Chains A and B, each alone.
Chain A
Amino acid sequence: MSKAETQQTEDEGRITNVSGPVVEAKGLDARMNDVVRVGEEELMGEVIEIEGGVTIIQVYEETSGISPGEPVITTGAPLSVELGPGILDSIYDGVQRPLDILEEEMGDFLDRGVDAPGIDLEKNWDFTPEVEEGDEVGEGDIVGTVPETESIDHKVMVPPDVEGTVSEVNEGEYTVEEPVVVLEDGTEITMLQEWPVRKARPVERKQTPRTPLQTGQRILDTLFPIAKGGTAAIPGPFGSGKTVTQHQLAKWSDADIVVYVGCGERGNEMTEVIDDFPELEDPKTGKPLMSRTSLIANTSNMPVAARESCIYTGITLAEYYRDMGYDVALMADSTSRWAEAMREISSRLEEMPGEEGYPAYLAASLAEFYERGGRVETLGGYDGSISVIGAVSPPGGDFSEPVTQNTLRIVKCFWALDADLAERRHFPAINWNDSYSLYKSQLDDFFADEVDEGWAETRQWAVGILDEEADLQEVVQLVGKDALPEDQQLTLEVARYIREVFLQQDAFHDVDTYCDLNKQFEMLRLIRKFNDLAFDALDAGVPVDEIQDVDAAPRMFNIPTEEDWEPLAEEIDEELDKEFGELS
């Protein structure tokens, strides 16, 4: 937004009422969703309702001490983010103010009334053009690149609604506000774009996702895979490991770019991310993880209105990188806090509440948010995707509450966290009976080509065993394991290996924290081999006790934590053959 335009629409009103984050003003000529400056301290706010002469504003900062009569000034522009090089390797608050700059300006505690640009306007970036004078460029086309971080090249794009013939190309070092390409009609293209956060960035068309987002988490990749461009929800009661799972995904998933939104969660958790990520290496590139990551931190004690906006800020940043043709993964932890922020604002507005006090537009807002994910052909004709993974924190762990239910209607992957499993220290505590993924069939071709033809079939086998175990457990609860027939005891034994060797994965172990697809398949294949040999032996009359005493089987427990696992797997494979050979 240029200065001239701002002044045209700028107008001043007066505060008439203050109630927490909701402020009413009169005499203000503002549009819906425009950003306004509230009070003498110029706190940042957004117009959320216009009623007769009264404008209702939600304020992104603490409002104590603000009184009626103080001025309200509109900026004439909706809440926008600044898009350009420098977004990666940054940590922002919910309205894209860089937290490190805020720390420099106001110390250890977040004060109010301080503004800082989302992107460093003074830093010079080395622009390498990809177009020449005379080239025709259209919206979304890439005109050049800038090395943003060690691992990511930032692509400078023609903004939406701009097209023409290139008349000037400036190679070399420039700030984000200086033109790097000029079109014949005089339009200047800089590295900086602004975009209103509540409006999805346009795309050419949506496409069907067909490649998996590889997460290195066995239960996810094998049993409940998500596609690049897919949507997933992780609901779970407190203490079941939502945040650890989100962190694992942010660390190990094979997306090009990760946007991590900490929405209304713990301060110390964000600090952990800030501390850890710069030190961790991307398993693909070996570069620091932070160089492909942008963090948005709105902790639970930061202003509630900024919590409402942080989700939109995050998805807009993600869309921008998607438009460059990158695969982006967006983690939102937690969408329940976002919904609660909506509820809080809504109740201050005295809107008619829907279910459990949430606003009636909850379902629409959630759907709109997840719909901004997906695999697309961009305006410039590139292939990009946003995978959206939202944590949900249902009150009391009850999945029938409105946020979980409305989320489930939209997302295609459901990773249900389970307090019982967590209590048993079975991590990740993802319940294999309740979870599902609707991407399985469209991803099976990929797994068959890239890993093994038998991928889908082996997975189905494992699911079958686990289902059978769930049924048998009910009987065991009543009569004890030893009262079961031998073949059922053996099934339980096999299921135990699937659970304890394969499904359990130690996020804090250096090796086990990431497991590639080949290792996943091989582990499951070994367990299945044990299964097949064991049932053959049982048929041949070997008692189940002897089968359970086969020494090679428990050695499978060592595979997850073994870095050089292939020789070990081979050894176990051979020993299984040998020992079972001796048994029968």
Chain B
Amino acid sequence: MKEYKTITEISGPLVFVEVDEPVGYDEIVEIKLSDGSTKRGQVLESGEEIVSLQVFEGTDELDRSSSVRFLGETMKMPVTEDLLGRVLSGRGEPIDGGADIVPEERRDIIGAAINPHAREYPDEFIQTGVSAIDGMNTLVRGQKLPIFSGSGLPHNELALQIARQADVRDDIGAEDDADTEDEEFAVIFGAMGITQEEANEFLEEFERTGALERSVVFQNLADDPAVERIVTPRMALTTAEYLAFDKGYHVLVILTDMTNYCEALREIGAAREEVPGRRGYPGYMYTDLANLYERAGRIEGKEGSVTQIPILTMPGDDDTHPIPDLTGYITEGQIYIDRRLESEGREPPVNVLPSLSRLMDDGIGEGYTREDHGDVANQLYAAYAEGNDLRDLVNIVGREALSERDNRFLDFADAFEGELIDQGWDTNRTIEETLGIAWDLLSTLPKTEMKRIDDDFVEKYYVGEDEAEEEEAEAAA
């Protein structure tokens, strides 16, 4: 393998090398520094004479005399079931002091697209134990459901709560008992540019709950080179796909923080002097993000599944910022963490109104959760939205000026946040418990307001007073 000592330009994370033999696009390179240490990089553009590289560990200390070796292959991730329980760097190298990884296979991290014809439509309910998600924005296996958060908000706690509690309820709708073995999720955790402290929180939690042995942790910290963040999620997802589609695991992938990933993307784009798109992010960011997010799903005839929960912090809590915006267009819904609810001490502070799960409709109802689930969720949304709207009005005219009906909806909105949303980080609710609380709340409203619920379900589950009947009784008396 030929070594070149022909670096012509170093600019940010990019290095330009003169070559005299063809080099493949996307190929991996090894750069040897004068002090003998090595760095790795990847071909970004390959010409006949000049090749441009991005260097994962950053270009510090590189000079013209550093030597560049092209390895003749694209970036690979060594995969094996033994990865479970391991902590790896953002480049996929073990950093937990454990044994070397003996790969069963080395997989290209770019990953091919799943043929839409081979996909199986996700419809298996995952019980996260969080009412705001299970009841209102149900997650299903094979879905990609990001958490839209802001800086300083407890998105990590929510992600951890989901990872800890996520459970597939095989007992609902199962026809025979043989099928009800407990299937636990394997958790792949991809950290990009988070602080050591945050990373420790995750690791300690994984160790405390014993979840580590069914987890693979990829860790690119805030002080690790930004460019490395480009490969971290790809390594994580390659591992996830292997475990899911080759080994039959149900895999939950948590990627945090996608905002740092996108910043790295922008950094490389700027260094390459590309024409920038919105707010300086590269024009291909949609495609790039889609290549990550779309690596979730189920495949017909395969046992496992890949479910993704990417976390992103919205700069300035602005969901029209390109990162949350493009993400929302690719993912199947989103869960919003809300600053007001957080300051009111709600745990988890999930704002259900802008939140959405696109795959919810197919994963709930009879045989999946419970017959009345869809109607109840709709009614809760409508009633909470109405109550929430009235809050603005109350600020102007005061409660006394509102009709009795309006006051009831206001109370409902408060109770909704206090009882359904604010369950605490350690409470694990079954879907039946969640729906039970929902009906208690709905029953504070008149029965005639249950417009979005099928009459049979109202008859069966509504526990409030029936005012119409009472009035009739009074009139009769």
Q: State whether these chains interact.
A: yes
Q: Which of A66, A91, A398, A422 contacts B116 (CB 8 A)?
A: A91
User: Whose C-beta in chain A lies nearest to the C-beta of B118?
Assistant: A108
Is A109 a contact of B328 with CB atoms below 8 Å?
no
Is B276 a contact of A357 with CB atoms below 8 Å?
yes
Is B46 a contact of A18 with CB atoms below 8 Å?
yes
Check A68/B396 contact, CB under 8 A, given A109-B112, A424-B382: no
- Contacting residues of chain A (25-76) with chain B, CB-CB under 8 angstroms: 62-70
Q: Within 8 Å CB of A478, what residues of B?
A: 396
Is A238 a contact of B329 with CB atoms below 8 Å?
yes
Is B392 a contact of A477 with CB atoms below 8 Å?
yes
Q: Which of A68, A302, A393 contacts B22 (CB 8 A)?
A: A68
User: Whose C-beta in chain B lies nearest to the C-beta of A353?
Assistant: B275
Q: Is B263 an interface residue (CB 8 A)?
A: no
Q: Within 8 Å CB of A274, what residues of B?
A: 116-117
Query: Complex: how many Å from CA A64 to CA B275?
Result: 22
Is B110 a contact of A395 with CB atoms below 8 Å?
no
**Secondary structure call for the B interface:** mixed
A276-307 Cβ-contact flags toward B at 8 Å (1 or 0): 00000000000000000000010111101000
User: Whose C-beta in chain A lies nearest to the C-beta of B380?
Assistant: A425
Q: Which of B108, B114, B284, B325 contacts A304 (CB 8 A)?
A: B284
User: Whose C-beta in chain B lies nearest to the C-beta of A342?
Assistant: B283
Query: Complex: how many Å from CA A62 to CA B26?
Result: 10
Query: Complex: how many Å from CA A54 to CA B345?
Result: 63
Check A340/B283 contact, CB under 8 A, given A274-B116, A356-B278, A482-B403: yes
Q: Is B4 an interface residue (CB 8 A)?
A: no
Q: Is A577 an interface residue (CB 8 A)?
A: no
Is A266 a contact of B330 with CB atoms below 8 Å?
yes
B105-149 Cβ-contact flags toward A at 8 Å (1 or 0): 000101111111111111000000000000000000011000000
Check A343/B277 contact, CB under 8 A, given A68-B22, A110-B113: yes
Stretch at the interface among A98-106, A129-137, A155-163, A202-210: A98-106
Give the interface residue-count category, chain B: 35 or more
Q: Tell me, rounded to whole Å, the shortest Cβ–Cβ distance linking A71 to chain B.
A: 12
User: Whose C-beta in chain A lies nearest to the C-beta of B75?
Assistant: A64
Check A423/B115 contact, CB under 8 A, given A340-B283, A356-B278, A480-B393: no
Is B283 a contact of A477 with CB atoms below 8 Å?
no
User: Whose C-beta in chain A lies nearest to the C-beta of B396?
Assistant: A478
Q: Within 8 Å CB of A264, what residues of B?
A: 286-287, 290
User: Whose C-beta in chain A lies nearest to the C-beta of B318?
Assistant: A396
Q: Is B45 an interface residue (CB 8 A)?
A: yes
Stretch at the interface among B30-38, B353-361, B418-426: B353-361
Q: Is B294 an interface residue (CB 8 A)?
A: yes
Q: Is B190 an interface residue (CB 8 A)?
A: no
Is A424 a contact of B403 with CB atoms below 8 Å?
no
Query: Complex: how many Å from CA A302 to CA B117?
Result: 13
- Contacting residues of chain B (333-357) with chain A, CB-CB under 8 angstroms: 333-334, 353-354, 356
Q: A102, A267, A270 — which one has the most chain B CB atoms within 10 A of its CB?
A: A267
Q: Is B381 an interface residue (CB 8 A)?
A: yes
What is the size, in residues, of chain A's interface with B at 8 Å between Cβ atoms?
A: 77
Q: Which of A65, A239, A347, A554 contacts B275 (CB 8 A)?
A: A347
Q: Is B320 an interface residue (CB 8 A)?
A: yes
A395-436 Cβ-contact flags toward B at 8 Å (1 or 0): 111100000000000000000000100111100000000000
Q: Within 8 Å CB of B60, what residues of A?
A: none
Is B25 a contact of A67 with CB atoms below 8 Å?
yes
Query: Complex: how many Å from CA A378 to CA B162?
Result: 59
Q: Tell me, rounded to whole Å, the shortest Cβ–Cβ distance linking A41 to chain B.
A: 12
Query: Complex: how many Å from CA A554 to CA B121?
Result: 38
Is B320 a contact of A397 with CB atoms below 8 Å?
yes
Q: Which of B113, B245, B277 contacts A302 (CB 8 A)?
A: B113
Is B275 a contact of A69 with CB atoms below 8 Å?
no
A11-34 Cβ-contact flags toward B at 8 Å (1 or 0): 000011111100000000000000
- Contacting residues of chain B (358-399) with chain A, CB-CB under 8 angstroms: 358-359, 361-362, 378, 381-382, 385, 392-393, 396-397
Q: Which of B74, B115, B245, B274 contacts A102 (CB 8 A)?
A: B115
Stretch at the interface among B89-97, B252-260, B295-303, B432-440: B295-303
Is B115 a contact of A99 with CB atoms below 8 Å?
yes
Check A267/B294 contact, CB under 8 A, given A65-B27, A344-B283, A395-B325: yes
Query: Complex: how many Å from CA A299 to CA B319?
Result: 24
Q: Within 8 Å CB of B459, what residues of A?
A: none
Q: Within 8 Å CB of A102, what residues of B?
A: 115, 117
Q: Tell me, rounded to whole Å, the shortest Cβ–Cβ distance linking A49 to chain B.
A: 16
Is A109 a contact of B46 with CB atoms below 8 Å?
no
Check A239/B25 contact, CB under 8 A, given A357-B276, A480-B397: no
Q: Within 8 Å CB of A422, what residues of B?
A: 356
B297-325 Cβ-contact flags toward A at 8 Å (1 or 0): 10110100000000000000001111001
Q: Is B84 an interface residue (CB 8 A)?
A: no
Q: Is B451 an interface residue (CB 8 A)?
A: yes
Is B114 a contact of A108 with CB atoms below 8 Å?
yes
Q: Which of B22, B382, B403 contacts A481 (CB 8 A)?
A: B403
Is B297 a contact of A239 with CB atoms below 8 Å?
no
Is B290 a contact of A301 with CB atoms below 8 Å?
yes
Check A16/B47 contact, CB under 8 A, given A353-B275, A424-B382: yes
Q: Tell me, rounded to whole Å, the shortest Cβ–Cβ distance linking B121 to chain A.
A: 5
Q: Tell me, rounded to whole Å, the shortest Cβ–Cβ distance linking B146 to chain A.
A: 11
Check A424/B297 contact, CB under 8 A, given A18-B46, A67-B22: no
Q: Within 8 Å CB of B326, what residues of A?
A: 395
Query: Complex: how many Å from CA A274 to CA B116?
Result: 9
Query: Complex: how many Å from CA A107 to CA B114?
Result: 9
Query: Complex: how many Å from CA A91 to CA B322?
Result: 32
Q: Which of A108, A344, A396 contacts B284 (CB 8 A)?
A: A344
Q: Which of B74, B332, B385 contacts A268 (CB 8 A)?
A: B332
Is A347 a contact of B121 with CB atoms below 8 Å?
no
Check A425/B381 contact, CB under 8 A, given A103-B117, A297-B116: yes
Is A239 a contact of B397 with CB atoms below 8 Å?
no
Q: Tell me, rounded to whole Å, the shortest Cβ–Cβ distance linking B39 to chain A.
A: 20
Q: Is B174 an interface residue (CB 8 A)?
A: no
Q: Which of A18, A347, A395, A500 contacts B320 (CB 8 A)?
A: A395
Q: Within 8 Å CB of A91, what residues of B?
A: 116-117
Query: Complex: how many Å from CA A302 to CA B291?
Result: 8
Query: Complex: how many Å from CA A357 to CA B47?
Result: 25
Is B119 a contact of A268 with CB atoms below 8 Å?
yes
Q: Is A364 an interface residue (CB 8 A)?
A: no
Check A266/B294 contact, CB under 8 A, given A70-B22, A275-B121, A425-B385: yes
Q: Within 8 Å CB of A341, what residues of B?
A: 287
Check A65/B24 contact, CB under 8 A, given A109-B115, A395-B320, A481-B403: yes
Q: Which of A272, A300, A554 contacts B286 (CB 8 A)?
A: A300
Q: Within 8 Å CB of B114, what residues of A?
A: 108-110, 267
Q: Using A64-B24, A264-B290, A425-B381 as known contacts, list a sample of 12 further A-B pairs with CB atoms less than 8 Å apart, ordered by residue number in A.
A: A18-B45, A19-B46, A108-B115, A109-B112, A239-B354, A266-B294, A299-B294, A300-B291, A300-B330, A304-B284, A357-B275, A425-B378
Q: Give residues in B with beta carbon < 8 Å to A.
A: 22-27, 44-48, 73-74, 108, 110-122, 142-143, 245, 274-278, 283-284, 286-287, 290-291, 293-295, 297, 299-300, 302, 319-322, 325-326, 328-330, 332-334, 353-354, 356, 358-359, 361-362, 378, 381-382, 385, 392-393, 396-397, 401-403, 406, 448, 451
User: 5 smallest A-B Cβ distances: which pairs?
Assistant: A396-B320, A300-B290, A64-B26, A238-B328, A301-B294
Q: Give residues in A with beta carbon < 8 Å to B.
A: 15-20, 62-70, 91, 99-100, 102-103, 106-112, 237-239, 262, 264, 266-268, 270-272, 274-275, 297, 299-302, 304, 337, 340-341, 343-344, 347, 350, 353, 356-357, 393, 395-398, 419, 422-425, 477-483, 500, 508, 554, 557
Enumerate 25 A-B pairs (CB-CB under 8 Å) in ascending A order: A16-B47, A18-B45, A19-B44, A65-B74, A66-B24, A67-B23, A67-B46, A100-B117, A103-B117, A107-B115, A110-B114, A111-B112, A112-B112, A239-B358, A264-B286, A268-B142, A271-B116, A301-B290, A341-B287, A344-B287, A396-B319, A396-B321, A425-B385, A480-B403, A483-B401
